[in-house]
Chain A
């Protein structure tokens, strides 16, 4: 089905392109921009509408958007870049920035941003703007941010009596409130002696545990990325708290391999920490009375896992192509409120302050966390880091290793990867 739909879509795109070139032969030559991204969900349709609007408003430019699922997309983008056939404009998620920057086919945008036709950087939060920087230079324009937030089931909150003075469900903000709420939400409803309604569930090990570690003040690496700090006391304590939610406090079910999220959707779970991109999923469900709130502070400081989509340019763009591509990026950034309707939070403060954004209830709640949003660490071996991180967390949450043991092993492995990476850089000589 999917392939057929894609084929039809492709055919339509080709037809559309032919039609365009056919009737546009009278005026000046059109600049064609290829624009690749991984928006295969409903977000893709939102983006396609934006592209169409840009094409209508800019008759001298034709943007041709192509989308594929993220895994395929990165492989294809990478191979295209290696062969000097990269698209003119493309999207990189923040965690991918460093590895693509290292491969030299992403253009830095610092000169464009500060040009007369530039972007007001003061309108973008500092931590978001920093997230696209590698060694002081910026490799893209952040379009949106998806901070993780807390979804909670309002009906279960009311049933458990977790309400404010007006009787409205009250999401917890501190560790004490969170544990208290989780305890009251965990219930055995059918009387078989086992809980079948849970206060909390780990829907995504990586984002959930990373958030708690950041709230405990944990770091993943030394500032120069020379050594892993994954087994620091802060990180071990944070992981221990997560393990305790299952084993000691018994307010979260033992880990699921997949689809713990379904439990929340079925109304069997009181609270879950998930990305804003899950919102569309929940909104489709009429019988679920839910709301969004910032993630409660389980450590000693607020923090939450986040990611961004960034608009990037091919390294060798010049002249009219570069100008057209920049105009397109500016257009998307300026209109990112329309993009937000698809479930993302715009990075431009001025757009977030509009009544229209403030009326998007869950987005607005999640956006409150932007000042302390924390991205995954930036490095060239992002995937290997994630494998080590996830494996250690999984082992600890399943109880097959203590947090200390699991993080010790992962740290040793990461330090080996760093050593390998360093040796390689020595061999290659860093080319800047």
Chain B
């Protein structure tokens, strides 16, 4: 009996093993290696050998105006894109939930469609849409006498990126919300309706509380994703205008693979990791307490 149980467990581990090996080789080891690297000065193109310099890389980051600028750009993206995406996804999910099943699947697929487009295609497409002289959006807007500097003014560029992200990614959370909504038993709504609750009451007292675990999951995943934003800005603006959309990941990428300053890039990556960890942790605590 125990032998069978042992074999049963063993088979479980064996099934996990291939992934575990990949996980350790390509994630755990590099992450730890990166932590070590962040305490070294290592410029790959330089004849100088790597040298241990303690926390100097971290100190440099805190005093680096470009790091602060990139951090600011990342925050601006997160603050714009996350609430917009979650708000729209929730609205779409609520709307779809109210539709009959047959129509629902069509619209669900339609809204989800942009998500499966790769970022390079979506980015190039929107770069064209946004072109202020010759782009699609301004072609229509100019008919009513408006010309929006979508990507050409530092104040607008990040908003435009967030808007594109909204179109590109809202489908994912929407599907998750829709699944969450389907899990809420209809009896609750019926009972509430009998008690005289209006639509708003039903939403705030039944839908939101019961959707909370799903909501938490989506918000945390979205914030993590927002802090790691790279593809959209890199393809649509390249970080411009005036570096206003150069986000942290792009700055780290440029530091490592254009300037070959590996130690400094590793230190900034760890700062980004800590930031994401702190935010995610705070989110979980905040949502659990209520």
Contact = CB atoms under 8 A, between A and B. Distances in A.
B258 A383 contact: yes
A430 interface: yes
Interface residues of B, number: 28
A320 B165 CA distance: 55
Contacts of B59: none
Given A383-B258, A400-B154, 15 more contacts: A78-B44, A99-B45, A102-B46, A102-B47, A103-B45, A257-B151, A260-B133, A263-B133, A380-B45, A380-B46, A381-B259, A391-B242, A424-B41, A427-B51, A428-B48
14 contacts: A75-B257, A102-B47, A256-B152, A257-B151, A258-B127, A259-B127, A262-B131, A262-B134, A263-B134, A380-B45, A391-B243, A400-B154, A424-B48, A429-B47
A103 B148 CA distance: 47
A428 B134 contact: no
A261 to B, nearest CB: 10
B133 A256 contact: yes
Contacts, number: 74
Chain A at the B interface: mostly helix, strand, loop or mixed? helix
B72 interface: no
A253 B47 contact: no
Contacts of A428: 46-49
A266 B46 CA distance: 46
Nearest to A103: B45
**Size class of the contact patch on chain A:** 35 or more
Interface in B250-290: 254, 257-260
Nearest to B241: A257
Nearest to B257: A75
A428 B43 CA distance: 11
Contacts of B237: 257
A133 to B, nearest CB: 18
B264 to A, nearest CB: 10
B228 interface: no
B34 interface: no
Interface in A380-431: 380-381, 383-384, 387, 391, 394-395, 398, 400, 424-425, 427-431
Contacts of B45: 78, 99, 102-103, 380
Contacts of B157: 257
Nearest to B48: A428
Most buried by B among A257, A424, A425: A257
B80 interface: no
B151 A258 contact: yes
